[in-house]
A and B are shown apart, each in its own frame.
Chain A
Amino acid sequence: VDELIATAIHDAKNRLGAVDALLASAEECNAAVGEARQLTRDINRQLVELLAFYREGAGVLRLVVDDHDLVNFCHDVRDEFILPAHSGLVVETDFTAADRLGAWAFDGYQAQLILLDALRNAARFAQRTLRFQLEAMDRGICFVVADDGPGYPPEVLAGANAAMSPGSTGLGLRFARLIAARHTTPDGRCGSVLLSNVDGAEFRLCLP
């Protein structure tokens, strides 16, 4: 991605922010506006993800690792995620481990983008239920987003393809892997993204 495209992305992102603000004031009058807002946020997120790849290429992608209250963070992600209208889907959450761990150091902004993408993707394939939870690992944490749909295609599980279906860019998964890998610790551990099929697709963002 060259600098011109990055600048255009940045500009488009800011304009989307302005559209979102306008839609926020119109939302009270029209329920469909809510969906339009969700769409603008999704596009905004995609643009931020694209920018991350530009920054990575230019050697200026910077993670901001800071302590985050895990309960608050998980609730923020859940609140930010809006299920498609009339989908009938349910989001089950389990933040018990978040409560026990208290806070953890990671880039909250990037992690939220990853998880919102994962939730959006899960909502596309889920039959009835999405699951969003946090698990404690040995000196690490793992965010889990799962659905009860058909599961990941074999080529995605094999790592040969990042796109879940024809027409999908696979940007979200690539972004997740990039950001997870950039989460490192002084003793040499690093984050990862794990995909598996367990009664549906299960996405795990593991951070050291």
Chain B
Amino acid sequence: MDLHGKHGLLIDDVPEMRNNMRAQLAAAGLEKCDTARNVKEAVDRITQRRFDLIICDYHLGQGADGQQLLELVRRRQLLPLSSAFLMVTGETAYEQVATAAEYAPDDYLIKPFTSATLATRLGRILEKKEALRPLYLALVEKGGRDKALAICEALIATKTRYMLDVLRHKGELLLEAGRHADALTLYDEILSQRSTPWAEVGKARALAAGGRDEEAKAHLRRSLAAYPNYLAAYDSLASLLEKSSKEEAQGVVEKALNVAPSTQRQRRLGGLALDNRDYSRAEAAYRRAVERDKTGFFKGHDDYAGLAKSCAEQGKLDEAFAAVKDMGANFPNRPELLARQASLESQLHIKSGNPTAAKEALQRALKLAGTQTLDAATSLEIAGACFAAGDEEQAKAIIQSIAENHHEDAEVIDRARGVFRAAGRESEGIDFLEATRKRMIKLNNDAVTMAQSGDVAKAITMLTEAADRLPNNCQISVNAALAILLDVQRNGASEEKFLLARDYIGRARAANPEHRQLPDVARFYRKLAPPDGPTLDD
């Protein structure tokens, strides 16, 4: 493929290497090429304009590396999937590049290489990007899963030369859509012809999604024996083990970290070690997460909170307070930060035997919670501080609100469970959260039954009240919209009803654009809405 007219970005922290590489890129035909020296400059450039190609050296100094940059720009959707990312690496680091789990570069090139090799590889990446462009666009489209699956089918029918890439995406999409039986069939078909690490892990994920956890774990262990560097296998196995043995899960994450460094996995190790009361290991992991990245792009409040807690549990209160202070120095002064710091300070003051200071800090946190909308993680930290201060009622009220708002979000529910565990109330927490989950399911089921048996008006009242109270609960918003549309079908249409239904569909999309029932409710809406009525965006 001709590289003339393509716009590239070259990222390398060593000036001589940057100049050499730029000359090689020009010789390969890439004339328009911006440069960046580090992660910050790279993010700035990528935010300002769209590049066809990113050519990035793995080692970028500043404690950050090219893999972290790739994860950052892909996760934040700063770099579309249609733009190519080529990682340049030495022989010693290529294993770490090539074993990346979730965010792999489109290709990697091991130094030294010639301009001709560089040109060939860049051309191939761009050809593939071009051939799969419709799929990449659908993959990032909100609610575009069905469309992406249809594109996969169409590409498979054409016997595309990128068949394995397409099958890989198809498997992921089927798993995301909850079609685990279809995913399992797909992976079994692939594996009957060849063994490839991603399909082995895909099969294990499909087994686990179908409730066959033990088979999935055994399959992952066999996969790791054959592919001991495949990080996605460690991640999947650790997730499964977390349900039964956090100690074993911790061991698996530690092994993954021996394969390749990763801030995400350090954070995960820290969390598991905290749960396992392995405080020195937790401190070491969080410290690495905090210190590895001096750019600040990859850190989160959780890292400092984890560091503070693991230090505090070992009696290192000065270091714990220092971690909370450092947190303030590394993030913008937003309500979430201030509430998180105040909650942590409150918990630390209790440990240091200063209840007055603890109470004052908790009041600050609660005041922020009363006036601002805080994210789930911050709210749950405040709940933890309430438990520590002995205010059980307040703690449970906060957790209940979060659990009701996010009853389908396993990550949030697990975090809520962690708050109970840290307070020494693990079994109570399990019962409390299970009761909340059942209550939410019952509310939805009762309303649906009510609507089906004819009392649509009462169902609408019940669901819209709940949806207004719980704006992050996608399921309730979906059901509220469905009840209103049922009312249209049975009792006649009005613009007001369509506007209301559309509003709840919008809220559901905002809460979870990939919710499995959203395509159905959108189809129902379009079927009922008159041509001149309020239209629903795709």
Contacts and interface: CB of A to CB of B under 8 A. Distances in A.
Nearest to B159: A102
Q: Which one of B90, B117, B120, B226 has the greatest number of beta carbons of chain A within 10 Å?
A: B226
Given A17-B111, A20-B112, A65-B230, A10 B92 contact: yes
Given A69-B161, A186-B219, A186-B222, 6 more contacts: A64-B99, A65-B196, A76-B120, A102-B163, A139-B193, A184-B225
Interface string A123-150: 0000000000000000100000000000
A69 B36 CA distance: 31
A109 B94 contact: yes
A20 B94 CA distance: 20
A204 interface: no
B226 A104 contact: no
Contacts of A13: 91
Nearest to A105: B196
Q: Which one of B95, B112, B116, B163 has the greatest number of beta carbons of chain A within 10 Å?
A: B112
29 contacts: A10-B92, A13-B91, A14-B90, A21-B20, A24-B114, A62-B95, A62-B99, A62-B228, A62-B229, A63-B227, A64-B98, A64-B99, A64-B229, A67-B164, A67-B165, A76-B117, A76-B120, A102-B163, A102-B164, A103-B164, A104-B194, A104-B196, A105-B195, A105-B196, A139-B194, A139-B195, A186-B195, A186-B219, A186-B226
Interface string B223-262: 1011111100000000000000000000000000001000
Interface of B: 20, 90-92, 94-95, 98-99, 110-112, 114, 116-117, 120, 124, 161, 163-165, 193-198, 200, 219, 222-223, 225-230, 259
A66 interface: yes
Q: Bin chain A's interface residue count.
A: 20 to 34
A105 B194 contact: yes
Contacts of A76: 117, 120
A187 B114 CA distance: 39
B96 to A, nearest CB: 9
A65 B230 CA distance: 8
Contacts of A97: none
A102 B91 contact: no
B227 A65 contact: yes
B164 A66 contact: no
A21 B222 CA distance: 43
A208 interface: yes
Nearest to A140: B194
Contacts of A103: 163-164
A72 B124 contact: yes
Q: Is the interface of A mostly helix, strand, loop or mixed?
A: mixed
Contacts of B20: 21
B226 A185 contact: yes
Interface of A: 10, 13-14, 17, 20-21, 24, 48, 62-67, 69, 72, 76, 79, 102-105, 109, 139, 184-187, 189, 208
B16 to A, nearest CB: 11
Given A64-B229, A186-B223, A48 B194 contact: no
A62 B97 CA distance: 12
Nearest to A67: B164
Contacts of A14: 90
Given A102-B161, A186-B200, A21 B112 contact: yes
User: What are the 6 closest A-B residue pairs judged by CB atoms, nearest first?
Assistant: A105-B196, A186-B222, A185-B195, A64-B98, A17-B112, A184-B226
B14 to A, nearest CB: 13
A62 B195 contact: no
A13 B200 CA distance: 35
A192 B255 CA distance: 28
A63 B91 contact: no
Nearest to A27: B114
A21 B229 CA distance: 31
Contacts of B90: 14
A102 B163 CA distance: 8
A109 B197 contact: no
A62 B226 contact: no
A103 B90 CA distance: 24
Nearest to B111: A17
B101 to A, nearest CB: 12
A101 to B, nearest CB: 8
Nearest to A51: B91
Contacts of B259: 62
Contacts of B124: 69, 72
Nearest to A187: B195
A208 B195 contact: yes
A68 to B, nearest CB: 10
B95 A64 contact: yes
Nearest to B104: A66
